[in-house]
Amino acid sequence: MIFTYRVTEVQTLKTFLYQQRFSKKTISAIKQNGALLVNQHPRTVRHLLQVGDEVIVQLPDEIPSTSLIPFNQPLHVLYEDTWLLIIAKPAHQNSAPSREHPHESLVEQALAHMQWRKETGIPHIVTRLDRHTMGIVVIAKSRHVHHLMSLTEIEKIYECLCVGRLTASDVIEAPIGRASDSIINRIVTKDGKYAKTLYTPIQTTGDYTWCRVTLLTGRTHQIRVHFQHIGHGIVGDGLYGMLHHRYDTQLLKCAEIKFVHPITDDIVHIKSQTPDFGQILTTL
């Protein structure tokens, strides 16, 4: 992956790279196995740049871990460019490998996709979803772009189908902590970390509500725990909500995402209509 810049003030190449938000770790990797060119000549980070100089940064090729096995299955791609890959993840798939599910993760699927496209980076998860949560996942195609995305504010909107009727927008503000008898379960507890969730009903039936949800904090299982706390657990959520005979996964998805692209400065605004919760609501 190659980046080209034009210098507008006198400064060292090292200072210039920090201004372009290259991390110390990435600069070190470039020095070992990449390229720093000024006006087509190799230079060290101590080189003094002049106004009008052209700087070319070539990132080193990234080698995937031997524990990753490319998973050759088609992706549901919502957006893709040189730097980012945005995917609609189905339920029952890990975003990244785990001890219980070491392979066929979204990362391994993205790795196969990038290798098929002859790209030299490797996928790095920017926005991770639980195994059984559906919807939008953002993947960076290099360590450097992953670092840039970590500095970028990302707006995320979720949708869920919950038990019971909710007729007005509201805020759930309740601290979340780990249950004392489990390493997985979270609960609302006064000893937990501050957590705040906004929700707005989109459509209701006699027994269920389709909601639009915004997280103002990012606690583990936050939406699921908060909706259980107010007595409206997520449909299909066997851990916090209510199992359903027709759906074997929690009806929760990341439905919309918006951010400023860290390379192009364009507004990236992605929506996922899969699955259609409005349609599912009619089947409950």
Q: Coil, strand or helix: which one is 227?
A: helix
Return the H-helix or E-strand segment holding 112: helix 106-116
* Exposure string for 122-161, b = 16+ CB within 10 A, e = fewer: bbbbbbebbbbbbbbbbbbbbbbbbbbbeeeeeebbbbbb
In Å, how far from its chain's centre is CA 134?
Answer: 12
Closest Cα to residue 172, out of 220, 231, 132?
231
Q: Is the bond leading into 275 cis (omega within 30 degrees of zero)?
A: yes
Distance between CA atoms of 274 and 134, rounded to whole angstroms? 9
Q: Which helix (H) or strand (E) holds 210?
A: strand 208-215
The catalytically annotated residue of 53, 130, 181, 276 is 130
266 is catalytic: no
The rounded distance, in Å, linking the Cα atoms of 77 and 79 is 6
Q: Which residues are catalytic?
A: 130
